[in-house]
Amino acid sequence: MKKIITFLMFASLVSCNKNQDKADGYGNFEATEVTISAEANGNIEYLKLEEGDILEPKIQVGLVDTTQLYFNKQQLIASKATVFSKSKNVLSQRNVLQEQLKTTLIEKNRIENMFAENAATKRQVDEIIGKVNVLNEQIKSVETQNAPIVNDVKSIDVQIEKINDQMEKSKIINPIKGTVLAKYAEANEVTSFGKPLYKIADISEMTLRVFISENQLSKIKVGQNVSVKIDSDKEMKSYQGTVSWISSSAEFTPKVIQTKEERVNLVYAVKVKVKNDGTLKIGMPAEMWVK
């Protein structure tokens, strides 16, 4: 079906070459349409938009219910507090041992000084050194007990961050400036991840896609200004357009060996950017005139 339509357009182009009063290309206006989908599951609390509304980017237009996510987050926060209490007990034991170690090290230095002055025995020195070693090992043991607790806290933090991300994605944020073309959901409906909510497009600048024949390629280039015309009440309304893209390949795949007659069957797509004054609509037919 697409090839038939393209062929009819091409037939019009061929007839245009025989009549200078006819346009150089025919086509329809297009715009980049973006479908906004849900990123969360649940009931839609609100969706503040209607077809035809012009939305600014980065604004919140809706919200998916976050009640269960909130409860899950509070449960994780409570679990984190419990784990922290275990860690505090372990750390308090370590602090006690560290204070004991400080006192023992002071005693060790005193005994070693006394031993140097023959005021203490070698046995006393060995005993205090052994006591210091025991305290160091006990501190290491306590810190080893605290390691899995710390890992549990880190795991809970990751789960909380994950829920925070899910709650953030429950907010329906409009990504681009544009006009709402279609609305697929309403407030109080249940949605799911990936379900379309609405469609939006920036129609402040439209793209006219036309087709030209091979022998017209030499008189058109990217960046060139052209005239775009649409049907009006009495005479055609004219706009200024700029060629933004020219296809590098033909719509119809040529044969390996082409005759002169076969080469004329090739058509190339051209895109023309046109500022929209509010009149231009998606799918509207238009003509391109090369100045």
Cβ-in-10-Å burial (0-12, 13-18, 19+) of 25 comes to buried
Residue 250 pLDDT: 80
Range 3-27 average pLDDT = 54
Give the dihedral sign, CA 97/103/109/113.
Answer: negative
pLDDT of 30 higher than 90: yes
Q: Say yes or no: domain 67-169 is CATH 1.10.287.
A: yes
* 2-31+203-290 shares its CATH topology with 67-169: no
Q: Where are the domains of the chain?
A: 2-31+203-290, 45-64+172-194, 67-169
pLDDT of 258 higher than 70: no
Residue 93 pLDDT: 79
Residue 97 pLDDT: 82
Residue 267 pLDDT: 83
Closest CA to 208 of 278, 291, 270, 290: 270
Of 87-91, 97-101, 143-147, 207-211, which has the strongest mean pLDDT? Answer: 207-211
| Residue 21: pLDDT band with limits 50, 70, 90 | low
Q: Say yes or no: domain 2-31+203-290 is CATH 2.40.30.170.
A: yes
CB contact at 8 A, 156 and 73: no
Residue 255 pLDDT: 46
Residue 275 pLDDT: 97
Residue 165 pLDDT: 97
Range 17-43 average pLDDT = 86
CA atoms in the 13 A half-sphere facing the CB of 228: 27
Q: Mean pLDDT for the chain?
A: 86
pLDDT of 249 higher than 50: yes
CA 187 vs. chain centroid, Å, equals 24
pLDDT tens track for 113-153: 888 888 888 888 888 888 988 888 888 878 777 778 888 88
Q: Has this prediction a pTM greater than 0.85?
A: no
pLDDT of 8 higher than 70: no
Q: Regarding predicted confidence, which is higher, 58 or 215?
A: 58
Closest CA to 45 of 73, 22, 69: 69
Report how far residue 209's alpha carbon sits from residue 115's, in angstroms, rounded to the nearest whole number. Answer: 99
| Residue 214: pLDDT band with limits 50, 70, 90 | confident
Residue 251 pLDDT: 73
Q: Which amino acid is at 253?
A: T
List residues bridging with 33 in a β-sheet.
Answer: 201
Report how far residue 215's alpha carbon sits from residue 227's, in angstroms, rounded to the nearest whole number. Answer: 19
Give the lowest-confidence range in 62-66, 67-71, 73-77, 114-118: 114-118
Secondary structure of the chain in the HEC alphabet?
CHHHHHHHHHHHHHHHHHCCCCCCEEEEEECCEEEEECCCCEEEEEECCCCCCEECCCEEEEEECCHHHHHHHHHHHHHHHHHHHHHHHHHHHHHHHHHHHHHHHHHHHHHHHHHHCCCCCHHHHHHHHHHHHHHHHHHHHHHHHHHHHHHHHHHHHHHHHHHHHHHHHCEEEECCCEEEEEECCCCCCEECCCCEEEEEECCCEEEEEEEEEHHHHHHCCCCCEEEEEECCCCCCEEEEEEEEEECCCCCCCCCCCCCHHHHCCCEEEEEEEEECCCCCCCCCEEEEEEC
Range 68-93 average pLDDT = 87
State percent of the chain over pLDDT 70: 88
Range 48-72 average pLDDT = 97
pLDDT of 14 higher than 70: no
pLDDT tens track for 175-203: 999 999 999 999 999 999 999 999 999 99
